[in-house]
Amino acid sequence: MSKVVGIDLGTTNSLVAYVENGRPVVIREKSGDALVPSVVSAAEDGTIYVGREAQRRLLTDAGRTVYSVKRFMGRGLDDVKHEARLLPFKVSGESAGVVRIGLGEREFTPPEISAFVLRELKRRAEEHFAALGVVDFEVDRAVITVPAYFNDAQRTATRDAGRIAGLEVLRIINEPTAASLAYGLDKRHTGVIAVYDLGGGTFDISILRVEDGVFQVLSTNGDTHLGGDDMDLLLVEKVLAEIPGDGRPQSGEFIQEVRKAVIQAKHDLSERDATEIRVGTYRRQLTRGELDAMIRPLVERTLAPCLQALADAGLQSSQIDEVVLVGGATRVPLVRQLVGDLFGRTPHSELNPDEVVALGAAVQADILVTGNREMLLLDVTPLSLGIETMGGVVSKIILRNSTIPATGSEMFTTGVDNQTAVDVHVLQGERELVADNRSLARFKLRGIPPMPAGMPRVQVQFQIDANGILSVTAAELRTSIEQTIEVKPSYGLTDEEVERMLLDSFEHAEADFAARLLIEARNEAETVITATEKTLRAPEFAAIAQTELAAGEQQKIESVLGGLKMVLGSPDRETIQKWTHALNDATRHLAEVVMNRSVQAALSGKSVDSM
Amino acid sequence: MSSTSTPTVQICRTCGGGAPVDVHFCPQCTKILTLGRQGDYFSFLGVPRKLNLDVADLEQRFRALSRQFHPDYFYNATPAERRASLERSSYLNDAYRTLRQPLTRVEYLLSLEGMDRQRAEREGEAETGNKVPPALLEEVFALNEELDTVREQRAAGAPAEQWKSRLQAAREPIERKRAAHEADLEGLFARWDEVVDRGAEDERRQVLHALRERMLERNYIHNLLAGIERELGQ
C-alpha cells in the first residue's frame, strides 16, 4: 500500500515525517538536513527550483525567487499590499480576489507556489521509501498542518495546494495541536498544557486538556501575521538605514544578502551575548540587549492572544501545568523569558521546535489510516462563523473555540411575494460589523417555492468539519425541498481551477524532472570539488606531490578542477557531469595514494599500540 | 410529558434492523447509526433532563462518546458511515458545549420545552420584546435618570472622577439585583429537578414559565451592566 506522511508546510521551512514502528520520524537528506526552505525560484529557461537551491538563488536572482508565500495563502491583494512592497517578487491580482505571484515570466496563485514545495517534500519522501526498499513507495496521501488561527480561506488554500501537488489531503490539522501530539507520545500524563508556537510568519497559542489520551483543545488564539520574519525585517531595515547608499534603491539581491546576514546574527544571539553583522565591507556589532530592545514590541504582541486564550478556556495562568514551545522563533531568549514570566514556569523545549509539528502530523496521519485509537485529537474552530444580517451586522452562528466538527443553522425567509432566491453572505471573525470581518463566501439560495413573503422557512445548515473547513446545505422546511447552493469563495479557487492547476503541473512535470537532475548533477560536482580542494590544501600534500605524483599530474588536476568550477553554473547537465567524471578520473591516482597513506598510518599506529 | 409522543425506535440504514433511539451503534450489525431527528442533547449524552448536572460526569461521557464516533476513526469506512460519524460527532460537540454551561443549558431546556424566546415572539407574547421586565422597572428608571445626569455632566466638561464615581454608585443596585437573581435561578434549578424526579406534570409549565421570566430579566440586567461599562469607557 502507498505511504502516508505528515507535512509541516511552514512560512520559512517545510518538512515531512512518517510513522515507523509506532514512532514518528522526520525524513532527512543524506546530509542530515530535514528542512526544505519554503522558497521557489524560476530560472531564465523556465526551470523551477525549490528548497536550498532556490534559497541560494535569492542572492543571485532575487527577482525570480519567491519566499514566505504562506503569508499570502487565502488572502486578497488588499490584505497584503503593504508587505508585498518589501518583497523582491511581484504580487498582483484583483483587489478582492486571489493574489497572483510573479515567478519568472509566469504568474501563480499562492497554492500553486506552495504545491511546488509540497511536490519537493513528496519526492523526498518517495526517495526515502524507495531507498528503504519499500515496494509501493508512492506518497499520495498526507496530513498537512496549518496555524491554528488560519481562517477557512487559508485552510482551503492549503488543502488546494495539496491537491495541486497530487496529494490527497487526509486532514488539515493545527500546528500547536500537532506539536502537543508529538509531546504527548512520551509522557502519558494528564493535565492542562499551553502550546506557544511562534514560527517564521505566524503565531498561535493553544490551551489543551489532556486526559485518557484525548487531546482536547479548550481555546486557541493567535496572529497569522507575526513571526520570526518580522524580527528579520526590523533588522534588515536598521542595517539598510546604516549603510551609506547613493540614493538609488538597493537591489533585491543586496537586500537578500543583508537579510541572510541579519538572520545569521539573530541565530548567533540565541547562544551568545554579542555578534557581528557583516555585509560586504559593512561591519556592525550587535548585542543581545540591542536585539531584545528592537524585538520586544513584537514579542509582547504575542501576550494579548495568550491572555485571551486563557480567558476563553476559563483558566488562570497558574492553572497551566506545562508550557510547550514550538517554532524556530522560540529559540530567541527574549521569547522564552517572556513566555516563562507569563505562565510562571519554565517552558518545555526538549523536542526540536522546527520538527515537532511534522512529527505530530505524522502521528495524526497514522491514526487516520490505521484506526489506532490510543490517541484522539479534539480541536476547535479559531474564529466565530456568522452571516450578514440587516444593516451590515454579523449574526454569529458558530462561536469561536467550539469543538469541531460543529454545526449551526439559521432560518431564512423571503422579503417579497413569490421570491425564489435569497442571498447569503458568510463571514468569519469576532467583530460586530460585516466590514470588520473576513468574508468567506457569498451564495444564493435558489429554488425556494413561490409563496407569500415571509412564508418560506429555509433552514441553512453550516457544517465545520474536522479540518475546520465549512460546507453549507439548505432545505425549505415547509416543502422539504433541498436547495442548491453555489458557494463562491471570496478568496479561494473553484474546484475547476484547482483541477486545471493540477493538470498544468503535469505538463511541467517533465521540465521539473530535468531541473532536479540538474540540481543533482551540481550537488555531485560540488562534493567532488570540495573533496579535491581539501586534499590539495592538506599539509601533507606537498610531500605527496613530490614523492608519489607523476610529472604534470598536479597541474592536470588543477586545470580540470578549474574547468568544472567554470561549468558548475551552466544549465547543461551533461557538461557538468562530463567535467565531474573528468575530475574524478584525474584525481583517482591521488585518491589512492591518500587512501594508502592513511591505511598505513592506521596500521603502524596499531602496531605501535600492540607492542 | 412532551417527549412521550416522539418515536422510541430508529432504523439502522446498514442492516435495516431496529434500535432504541438513544443508542449510537446498531445492536444487530454494530455499524454506526445515522443521526435521526428524534432525541435531544440530554438523551444523546445519556443524562436526565435536569438543570443541575454533574459536569465532571458530563465530561467523561463526552470523551467516551468522542472516542466512539470521531471521524478520525472512520477514515476507511463506507461513505454512509463516515457521514454518520461526522453528524454524530458534530451533534455530540454541540450537545456538550450547550449542556456544560448552566445558562446555555437552561436556555436549551426552555427551547426543548417550547418555551424559548423566538417561539414566544412568534406567538406574539408581548412580554418578550424590548419592554422592561416589570420586576426591574424601579431600577431601570433610577439608572436612566443617573445616566442622563452623567451625560450632562460629561457634556459640561465635569472631571472624569466625578461622573465615574456616580456611575459606579448607580451600578450597585443593579449588581445587587443580579446577585438576587442568581440565587433565584439556583432555587428554580433545584425546583425543576425535583419536579422531574416526582414526575409532577402539572407543575412543569409553572416552573418553566418562572425560569423563562428569570432568564429574560437576567439578560436585561446583563444589558444594563454592559451599558454602564460602555459609559465608563467613554
What is the value of ipTM here, to two decimals?
0.82
pLDDT of A233 > 50? The answer is yes
Report the gap between the CA of A466 and the closest CA in chain B (Å): 7
Query: With bands split at pLDDT 50, 70 and 90, how would you rate the model's confidence at B121?
Result: low
Report the gap between the CA of B40 and the closest CA in chain A (Å): 15
Q: Does A376 touch chain B (CB under 8 A)?
A: yes
C-alpha cell at A397: 452562528
Cβ A590 vs Cβ A545: under 8 Å: no
Strand partners, A191: A210
C-alpha cell at A343: 505562565
Cβ B178 vs Cβ B225: under 8 Å: yes
pLDDT at A185: 64
Q: pLDDT tens for residues A267-276?
A: 999 989 999 9
Of A170, A364, A376, the CB nearest to B66: A376
Cβ A46 vs Cβ A25: under 8 Å: no
Report the gap between the CA of B121 and the closest CA in chain A (Å): 15
Please indicate whether, in this complex, the C-beta atoms of B90 and A369 are within 8 angstroms of each other. no
Cβ A144 vs Cβ A15: under 8 Å: no
Using DSSP, state whether B28 is helix, strand or coil: coil
Tell me the C-alpha distance between B175 and B222, whole Å. 10
pLDDT at A608: 41
A-chain residues near B91 (CB < 8 A) = 407
Q: Does A315 touch chain B (CB under 8 A)?
A: no
pLDDT at A510: 60
pLDDT of A357 > 80? The answer is yes
DSSP A377: E
Specify the pairing of strand A23-26 against strand A13-20: antiparallel
N- to C-terminal Cα separation, chain A: 58
Closest CA to A12 of A74, A58, A79, A48: A58
A-chain residues near B86 (CB < 8 A) = 405, 463, 465-466
> Is the pTM above the cut of 0.90?
no
Query: With bands split at pLDDT 50, 70 and 90, how would you rate the model's confidence at B2?
Result: very low
pLDDT at B119: 59
Using DSSP, state whether A56 is helix, strand or coil: helix
pLDDT of A216 > 90? The answer is yes
DSSP A88: S
Q: Which strands form A393-398's sheet, in the order they lie side by side?
A: A393-398, A385-389, A422-428, A438-445, A485-489
B-chain residues near A466 (CB < 8 A) = 70-72, 86, 89
pLDDT of A169 > 90? The answer is yes
Tell me the C-alpha distance between B185 and A472, whole Å. 37
Cβ A346 vs Cβ A216: under 8 Å: no
Report the gap between the CA of B93 and the closest CA in chain A (Å): 6
Query: Of the ranges A151-160, A597-606, B58-67, B117-126, which one carries the lowest mean pLDDT score?
Result: B117-126
Q: pLDDT tens for residues A510-542?
A: 666 677 777 778 878 887 888 888 788 877 888
Q: How many CB atoms lie within 10 A of CB A480?
A: 7
Tell me the C-alpha distance between B161 and A412, whole Å. 48
Helix, strand, coil shares of chain A, percent, nearest 5, are: 45, 25, 30
Using DSSP, state whether B135 is helix, strand or coil: helix
Please indicate whether, in this complex, the C-beta atoms of A406 and B94 are within 8 angstroms of each other. yes
- Give CA separation, A56 vs A35, A53, B100, in Å: 14, 5, 54
Average pLDDT, chain A: 87
Query: Of the ranges A102-111, A313-322, A388-397, which one carries the lowest mean pLDDT score?
Result: A388-397
Closest CA to A216 of A366, A403, A398: A403
Catalytic residue among A126, A197, A366, A388: A197
pLDDT, mean of residues A469-473: 86
pLDDT at B27: 83
Count of A-B CB contacts under 8 Å: 54
B-chain residues near A378 (CB < 8 A) = 66, 70
pLDDT of A486 > 80? The answer is no
Q: Does A527 touch chain B (CB under 8 A)?
A: no
pLDDT at A606: 52
Does the annotation count A81 as an active-site position?
A: no
Q: What's the CA dihedral at A292, A297, A302, A303 to 10 degrees?
A: 100
Does the annotation count A197 as an active-site position?
A: yes
Q: pLDDT tens for residues A572-606?
A: 888 998 999 999 999 988 888 888 887 787 767 65
Tell me the C-alpha distance between A228 and A242, whole Å. 22
C-alpha cell at A81: 499590499
